[in-house]
Amino acid sequence: MPISVAIDGPAGAGKSTIARSAASRLGFIYVDTGAIYRACALACTQAGITPENEAAVREKLTQLTPELRFIEGVQHILINGEDVSDRIRTPEISAVTSAFAAMPCVREFLLGFQRDTAQRQNVIMDGRDIGTVVLPHADVKIFLTAAPEERARRRAAELEAKGQPVVFDEILRAINERDKADMSRSTAPLRQAEDAVLLDTSSLDAKAAEDAVIALIKEKCGGEICG
């Protein structure tokens, strides 16, 4: 049976970076579910559709075909054959993704896609409700977090590396607002699963956090995996 690892946590906690590296080391497939929601948010936003217009969102979803491709070990997200991996990471899309992701129609649209991926291969899947909703029976569940200020610092460094303008206070405010929205939404709110291991990476660099995640996976799965 394929092994499934669910990594949940707030925005900017380093879930994607850590999960991607850990999956590479273990020979697992990495699934960035946040990218899939961002892609849906991008498609709707480009069409001038807001989360308040549920009927329009539902209609737009019928026109979308999400796809994950792994090129040299890196996940790319495509919508209707177009690679949108870079365009989904802008502050503008970050600001609206939570509202779209909270919509039941959007979550229902993507749920089967995510579960099917996990049933076919060993995966590390990260998001905000993986261990609680998407993969409630995952072999390993980790809740990855860090202090808001540290998450803002990491996000600022990420944007700077891409040559995008950075205002730290705005990034911190956006992260705090995203946390509030994710934790208070009525559909699949951000929370730690009861059987998830809490891992705070505030004082850890990326390599130490990655090593900690791999150690937890090996502890749970024992001799079933290598790496």
Domains belonging to the chain, first-starting first, are 4-222 (3.40.50.300)
pLDDT digits (tens, 9 = 90+) for 115-134: 988 998 899 999 888 999 99
d(CA 85, CA 227): 28
- How many other CB atoms are there within 10 angstroms of residue 68's CB atom? 18
Residue 226 has pLDDT above 60, yes or no: no
Adjacent-strand bridge partners of 75: 70
Convert the pLDDT of each residue in 68-77 to its tens digit. 887 876 789 9
Neighbours of 181 (CB within 10 A): 17
- Structural tokens at position 35: 């990218």
For residue range 164-220, list pLDDT tens digits in order.
Answer: 888 999 999 999 998 998 898 887 789 999 999 999 999 999 899 999 999 999 998
Identify the helix (H) or strand (E) that includes residue 5.
strand 4-8
Tokens 């936003």 found at: 45
Identity at 67, one-letter amino acid code: E
